[in-house]
Structure 1
Amino acid sequence: MKKRILLFIIGILMTLNLGNNISYAENNGKVIFISINRTSLDEMLSIDRIKEELDSRGYIGLMNIRGSKGTSDIRSYASIGWGSRAYLNYRNIQFETLNESNKDEYIRRSGKKPKYINNLNINNTKSDAAIGEYGALPGALGMEIRNNNLKLAVLGNADTDSEQRREICLIAMDENGQIEKGNISSIDVEDGLMPFGIRTDYEKLINETKKYYDESDLLFIELGDTYRLDLYRNKLNSNTYNSMKEKIYANINNYLNEVFKIVNPNDRIYIVSPYPRLEDFRTGYRLSPVIIFDKDEKGILTSSTTRRKGVVGNIDIAPDILNYFGQESNAMLGRNIDRISMDNNIDFLTYEYEKIVSTYNIRIPTLYTYAVFQMITWIISVIFIFLRKKISKKLFNIPINILKFTMIIPFALLVEPILNLNSEISIIAVALLMSLIGYFIVHKLVKDDLNKIILLSTLTFIGILVDAATGQNMIKNSLLGYDPIIGARYYGIGNEYMGVLIGSIILALSSLFEKKKISRLLLSIVLLVCVIILGYPKMGANVGGTITAVFAFLFLIMKIYEIEVDIKKIVLIMCAVVLVVTAMALIDINFIGSKSHLAGAIEDIIIGGPIIILQIIRRKLEMNLRLIGISMWSRVLILGVIIVGVLFNKPSGILKSLCEVYPSIAKGWQAIIVGSVVGFVVNDSGVVAAATSISYVIVPVLVLIMKDIVKSKSQD
């Protein structure tokens, strides 16, 4: 009797499992990934079949191509397949179709039984990947596909007449560099009128696509010709280039017509350019197009990696493919790609792309100019202070007003994106105009210089906090923010504005407390709100900034409450830092699930162990050391430190006297300096945060010293 009951239960479970498989098959089809490498967004949208499909369905987006330690075709392909930013050099891959001559070679090198396609250099591939900063696992997608009993095949290459270009295999291979089936070596034909005398054999590719579509769950296809054309471009004139390009895209269009004939309604098709054209890359168009055809829906792409409409990371493709099959991988840093319904998706994306590129192209020149302008103003002001006896009091108003003007620039750069401009000239012109108009209004409404500084600082920190709490729509597009092309950060409060925020809020609150406009309690509450917004994963999402803020804010609070800051207090501050950061991580992991940088780091440490902590520390140190040598912000920081050091000693007692007149503001300056030191140590680009925060010490110090000089001259 018991045996019959057991068999009955097993039968029910098998039926339910079979039912689940049937349901899965009904609701999901197959995935086809088509690589049209070195293709721009405009070129992809000009392909007739793609354009025809996009009229009624399809999601489009722009993909960040960043790998580990820079960008290249091979690193983007690897990042797509491994779900993490990958480091890899071309010489360290060699994908071959199995034959008698390479069979023993692969076994000898790997100790594994070969499959139909094998990476003979798999050991070098793994060694390269280990040098990367993000712990990418080679073959992560292929491994998950194999482990879940799904079938995968690869077709095509981008070989030239002198070298193999089979990066498409990096997406599909497993951790042993193996691919079960496909055709990567006999898919091209000689054609003397095409780049390198080679082109893809589209007739054969169509037949192979039909064959492997029936046999596989996933099919990865490299069309190859667009890549060869871009490599060969410098050998062509405009006529020959355009002629070849027209033929290539006509062939691609015909191929896509056949693909769309054979697919089923439940299939998902990815059409991706893993890397942009070199000409586009040089002119700032460094995001690559991604199109996903998924049933009959239409819109744009985004992901929790970027939290930005129309933009995804190359590391998001593999998790999205796995999600289609109901799977996931803990080895991947990328996130599933989200779809946002939008009828005018093409117009939206093209406008956004122009805005992104314009911001990218003028960002460094603008910030360089701003930094140099700051430094020149600081140096002139110090010279005025040392030559105060030889300079008339009227001339002092020039550097004083310029110094105060520099304080409104971060606020102007923050609010300029409200106008949603997308041309370089308009962005610069409006930012400058806003700065001038804003300063003129403040100058006319407020007479006292310290009150002007307080107002400008207050506007700045409130603007940053409000924007961070409401989706960072201004910071995301600000010249002082960050951009999706660089891809160091996509959301939250970046290090530039983190430094500005910490400097401006400490200066504003300590000055208001000096003037007895706020109480100790209110000061502490505002700082607490700032920490929450700065660290909360859905808002500021800045781990290093949170650590910096807790250190600097607790230091200020202790000073305001007349508590001596000794070793024990520093230990308590460090404990508070750990508590706050841990709380933010737990909130994200257990309640929000937004997968912020902090949550991702905690999960990586749990999975990878203590070595992940060492990788994070190494990455931060490497970034800061690199920036010290090349960043203009490092010069700003060094100059700021020198000025503070000089004014402590000469003119004799001048800074000490100022601190005695404004004791609470002086405590704020000390807290900013503490924040600059901590920010420098705990952030990837800490030199930037330290430089932008220390200006909130230098500017008020110089202004107040010169105002005191002017006052004393008036009394003479």
Structure 2
Amino acid sequence: MVMIKRITFICILVMLIVCGKAVQAGEEASDLTLIVVPDFSFQEVKWLRENGQFLHLWETSGMSGMNIRPDGPYSYLNSAVSLSTGVRALGIVDWNAYMSGEVVDNVFAEELYQQWTGNTVEEGVIFHPLLHKLVDKNNKVEIGIIGESLKQYGVSRYVIGNSDVNEKKVRYGPLFTMDNKGLTGGALTEATKKSIGAPSGVEMDVDNIYDWLSTIQEKDERSFTVIEWGDVFRLYDQKENMSEAYFVERYELSLINLEMFVHKLLTGDYVEDLMLLSPMVHSDAYQNKERLAPFFYWGKEEGVIQSYLLRSDTTRQDFVISNLDIAPTILNFYRIPQKGQFIGKPIQKEVINEAVLEEGLKNLDLMFLVFKSRNVVLSSYITLLVLLLIIVSLIILVKDKNETFKKIAKVLLISGVSSPLWFLITPYLLNYIQPNVYLLFIIFCSFLTGYLFVKLVRNPIFVLSGAIFISISVDLFFGNYFMQRSYLGYDPIIGARYYGIGNEFAGIYLISGLLLVQQRYFRNWFVLMMLALGTIIILSSTYLGANAGATISAGVMFGFFYYRYYFTDFQWRKLLIIISFVVPVVLAILFFTQLNGKESHIGYAFSKLFSGDFTYILDTIKRKLEMNWKIFRYSNWTQLFVTTYLLIALYLWRRKKIVGNEVKRVLIQTGVVASITLLIINDSGVVSAATSMFIIVCTSYYWALEEG
């Protein structure tokens, strides 16, 4: 009996400890405050770093640049709708929030709400009369998903403040807290006060906001509060009408006030966890192409403000998050299960013992620089590649017997083939040299490579192909460190891709792997199978390439080569049988490489497909076709795409063998098939088709010159 009592006592004690820990964990996730500061950019962050009174405030925060691309035009409303739904979405004309007693076109807002919806609203509740129109505008997007989820799990929701400009009402903060009926608690106008010298004659009333936060803490065990800080927005709205000197004065004052407010929130025990984000940057930053908005996160551990390094599985890059991450991050804070509409992932916080502000700003500056100069650098580079092909074509047509001109042509061709390698391994030189100097450096290194390889290397095409294939593979295995900042990589500001292998390098990677097969060793059936399987797995893996179009194209490419090399009699029926077998196998590999606990955009598409959401798949296909057409019409890559395809078509039309060697001829045919497959399947197929066909044309020309 004594033993039973002891065991019972120990069990009760263990349960109390576990429950105590559970309560403690619940308390850690009890209150979250979000400050929404429209028109706040990294220009203001840098000013605060240099001139602020509380530098440690920014150094100890978790900081990232946030992609703010909405579904439609760039605006505060479109961005706020996207942030609050976790999906790129759109706002509607005349969208706003109101409280009882406010007048709209000489009619009380609550009366309009009843006239338009048939519903009544209680006193002190914030409401949105045009919610039904916003829902209709964004078909299949759950409007109010944050607020509704919080309400179902017993979390109180409040919004404080506004961004009103004179008589124009701008209240988009409530989008983060309203439920699916468009209702939320809080105060819109009580958080501002009259100030004759301030833009629009009002400024944030910090004392009233502190009182509200204190009341919320006393009243609610769990709460989510959004503070819409509109002073910076009002300032930039009135900038054109203000004298330059007075604008600077108000600019500095508004930033100091914001910093003071955040400092007091954290040191005055008003909040435990605090997020600050900008749903849009002001026009000056936007025109300067600094289009990632600031995001900050402060948290306390036992009352001490912690330094964080923020990471997102959506971007897999340091100091970069997506606007689609905010909604799941808020719900994850309260341990609320995620719903299926979220593509973004909760932001992860890693406690560190050092300030990362300087490192973060340096990374962001490089992103901004690449984005600003990308169009000029790539247009110049692509034009040079087109000129290179035209010059070599003329040499082959006119001076193909002249050894000097043939050597010049070979150097030009190897220079062109080597240039993507230099773009891959040197992007961080942009931290030290200007983009125009960088382009000259790439040109110099490419021509030097061409000259040395032609002079010293017996088989430069094979060696370069191996170098490019290995370099891209290594970069993929080490987290795309080089590719994500390369001009031939992808841009976080555009937000089409954050990780894996981009379409420019995808075309180059496929053809580089294919050209390894010119060596007899790689044509051994087992080695060829391992090369094909390894390429497909690298391209499909969520941790590596994560490129579905390139994966399928790789399968088609190696399947075509296998058939053309091992079967001498060409028959379309046999080829179609092989391809119809290869594609399902590649799709199966693509699916199984997603089952590693880390969902990518490919895994998300598979989940939609298996759930029967064929509309999502059809919409994705439609979007990819539209993107390809848009790229074809407006992109610089169209020059290279048209040139390379015309040159290949010319040879096919003339029915002339480019090279006499049978293996090389099959490799060229296979490369053309791979390029066409990339064009059809990839979302930016014009780009990958252009880069892949460029390598094929250069290779075929080089082999033709060698054979004389």
Match of 2:491 in 1: 483
Distance in 2 separating the partners of 1:412 and 1:301: 31
> Is the 1:93–1:121 Cα contact (8 Å) retained in structure 2?
yes
Taking the TM superposition and a 5 Å limit, the aligned residue runs for 1:675-686 are 675-686=674-685
Change (3 A) 1:70 1:424: farther
Shift of 1:302: 1.6
Match of 2:319 in 1: 310
- 1:259 paired to 2:284: no
Which residue identity lines up with residue 42 of structure 2 in the other structure? L
User: Percent same amino acid among aligned pairs?
Assistant: 24
TM-score normalised by L of structure 1? 0.88
Match of 1:68 in 2: 71
Shift of 1:463: 1.1
Shift of 1:242: 0.8
- 1:642 paired to 2:646: yes
> Is the 2:39–2:281 Cα contact (8 Å) retained in structure 1?
yes
Distance in 2 separating the partners of 1:571 and 1:20: 61
Shift of 1:413: 0.6
Taking the TM superposition and a 5 Å limit, the aligned residue runs for 1:514-593 are 518-562=523-567, 564=570, 566-567=572-573, 569-570=575-576, 572-589=578-595, 592-593=596-597
Distance in 2 separating the partners of 1:69 and 1:544: 26
Distance in 2 separating the partners of 1:137 and 1:150: 19
> Is the 1:62–1:288 Cα contact (8 Å) retained in structure 2?
yes
Unaligned runs of 5+ in 1: 1-11, 712-716
Distance in 2 separating the partners of 1:571 and 1:69: 43
- Residue 286 of structure 2 aligns to a residue in which SS? helix
- 1:377 paired to 2:378: no
- 1:667 paired to 2:666: yes
- 1:410 paired to 2:412: no
- 1:244 paired to 2:247: no
Which residue identity lines up with residue 421 of structure 1 in the other structure? N
Taking the TM superposition and a 5 Å limit, the aligned residue runs for 1:268-417 are 268-295=273-300, 296-330=305-339, 331-342=341-352, 343-388=354-399, 392-417=402-427
Superposed CA RMSD = 2.8
Q: 1:504 aligns with which of 509, 512, 527?
A: 512
Shift of 1:111: 5.3
Which residue identity lines up with residue 369 of structure 2 in the other structure? S
Shift of 1:517: 6.6
- Residue 238 of structure 2 aligns to a residue in which SS? helix
- 1:473 paired to 2:457: no
Change (3 A) 1:144 1:616: same
- 1:421 paired to 2:431: yes
Change (3 A) 1:353 1:430: farther
Q: State the Cα deviation string for residues 52-109 of structure 1 (Å, max 9, x = none).
A: 3345x431111111122453322222222111222335x2522111359333533454
Shift of 1:32: 0.3
Q: State the Cα deviation string for residues 514-559 of structure 1 (Å, max 9, x = none).
A: xx67523322311211111111111111111111111112111222
Distance in 1 separating the partners of 2:522 and 2:681: 33
Q: State the Cα deviation string for residues 435-476 of structure 1 (Å, max 9, x = none).
A: 3443344233215xxx21222222111211121122111111
- 1:95 paired to 2:97: yes
Distance in 2 separating the partners of 1:587 and 1:538: 9
The number of residue pairs the alignment matches comes to 675
Match of 1:698 in 2: 697
- Residue 155 of structure 1 aligns to a residue in which SS? strand
Q: State the Cα deviation string for residues 490-513 of structure 1 (Å, max 9, x = none).
A: 10001110011112221332x224
- Residue 326 of structure 1 aligns to a residue in which SS? coil
Match of 2:37 in 1: 36
Match of 2:8 in 1: none
Distance in 1 separating the partners of 2:259 and 2:343: 34
Unaligned runs of 5+ in 2: 1-11, 102-106
> Is the 2:411–2:454 Cα contact (8 Å) retained in structure 1?
no
Change (3 A) 1:119 1:374: same
Which residue identity lines up with residue 79 of structure 1 in the other structure? S
Which residue identity lines up with residue 469 of structure 2 in the other structure? F
TM-score normalised by L of structure 2? 0.89
> Is the 2:128–2:182 Cα contact (8 Å) retained in structure 1?
yes
Change (3 A) 1:699 1:587: closer
| More moved, 345-354 vs 109-118 | 109-118
> Is the 2:85–2:145 Cα contact (8 Å) retained in structure 1?
yes
Change (3 A) 1:643 1:235: same
- 1:86 paired to 2:85: no
Match of 2:192 in 1: 188
- Residue 556 of structure 2 aligns to a residue in which SS? helix
Q: State the Cα deviation string for residues 660-689 of structure 1 (Å, max 9, x = none).
A: x12222222222222222212222211111
Distance in 2 separating the partners of 1:419 and 1:372: 23
| More moved, 294-303 vs 542-551 | 294-303
> Is the 2:311–2:317 Cα contact (8 Å) retained in structure 1?
yes
Q: 1:230 aligns with which of 217, 233, 236?
A: 236
Distance in 1 separating the partners of 2:562 and 2:422: 30
Distance in 1 separating the partners of 2:53 and 2:81: 28
> Is the 1:355–1:423 Cα contact (8 Å) retained in structure 2?
no
